[in-house]
């Protein structure tokens, strides 16, 4: 099935991990995609990989500063010029944290808030201005299971994802009149590069806490984004969709 046939999407943080899986899933389902990364070299590398795995796909690469409203607006305009419209934004770019609170540098806390929260605001606003004129669209944010349950260290990360949930729910109420849907996906432990590099002695205890008996794959998370981006979710907005194997339930 091509659930996104004819749709145009922007995916930030799309060069690897969950973001790259979302880009592939959207392309497989008929969308044209603008893949965004932090640097030109990482974007080019992702585009080369896509050219090998999915030759002929309708994809372009961009690397705006997501905290700079002017650069983000220019990137959105470029996507509209290239593909004619913008139907979907996936705010996936972000960084994590593990610092103990008593040792937490305020500058590191600000850094994680700038990318995980402020950039989501900037990108969502730029996309919403286009979608409002078009008559609708879908904006999706990457949250986290720790936005619901917290975590034992690195308070900046769950705090930032709590904020993402707040943006998601509030903007769903504010932008609904423009037929713009706002949702978030809250992944659990997922086999990204960082998790794959962990020793098995650390992975096994993690798996033991998950009722489904395994950690998530990037494609599991991408499938949730696909559903929320598609017309199958046309009456779903303001939701934080947990995809964590019931790890903390």
Residues involved in catalysis: 157
- Six-digit token string for 125: 């606003």
- Six-digit token string for 198: 């962990």
Report d(CA 158, CA 169) in Å as an integer. Answer: 16
Residue 145 and residue 248 in contact, taking contact as beta carbons nearer than 8 Å: yes
Q: Is the dihedral of CA 166, 95, 112, 75 positive or negative?
A: negative
Q: What ranges make up the beta strands (E) of the chain? A: 8-11, 32-36, 59-62, 88-91, 137-142, 180-187, 240-243
Q: Phi, psi at residue 224, to the nearest 5°?
A: -65, -40
Largest CA distance in the chain: 52
Residue 164 and residue 117 in contact, taking contact as beta carbons nearer than 8 Å: yes
Torsion of CA 51, 57, 60, 66, to 10 degrees: -100
The 10 Å CB-count burial string (b at 16+, else e) for 11-21 is: bbbbbbbbbbb
Q: Phi, psi at residue 153, to the nearest 5°?
A: -155, 170
- Six-digit token string for 209: 């806490």
Report d(CA 219, CA 225) in Å as an integer. Answer: 10
């Amino acid at each position: 099935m091509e659930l996104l046939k004819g749709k145009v999407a922007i995916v930030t943080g799309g060069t690897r991990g969950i973001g790259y899986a979302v880009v592939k899933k959207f392309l497989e389902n008929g969308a044209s995609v603008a893949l965004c990364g932090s640097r030109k070299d990482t974007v080019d590398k992702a585009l080369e990989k896509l050219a090998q795995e999915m030759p002929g796909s309708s994809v372009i690469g961009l690397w705006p500063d997501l905290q700079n409203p002017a650069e983000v607006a220019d990137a959105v305009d470029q996507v509209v010029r290239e593909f004619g419209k913008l139907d979907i934004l996936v705010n996936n770019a972000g960084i994590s944290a593990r610092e103990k609170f008593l040792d937490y540098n305020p500058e590191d806390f600000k850094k994680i808030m700038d990318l995980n929260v402020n950039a989501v605001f900037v990108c969502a606003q730029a996309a919403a201005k286009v979608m409002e004129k078009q008559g609708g669209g879908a904006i999706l944010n990457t949250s986290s299971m720790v936005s619901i349950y917290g975590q034992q260290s690195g308070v900046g990360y769950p705090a930032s994802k709590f904020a993402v949930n707040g943006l998601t729910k509030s903007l769903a109420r504010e932008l609904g009149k423009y037929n713009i849907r706002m949702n978030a996906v809250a992944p659990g432990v997922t086999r990204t590069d960082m998790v794959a590099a962990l020793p098995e002695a650390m992975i096994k205890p993690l798996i033991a806490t998950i009722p489904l008996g395994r950690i998530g794959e990037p494609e599991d998370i991408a499938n949730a984004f696909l559903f929320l981006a598609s017309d199958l979710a046309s009456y779903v907005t303001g939701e934080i969709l947990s995809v964590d194997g019931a790890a903390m339930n």
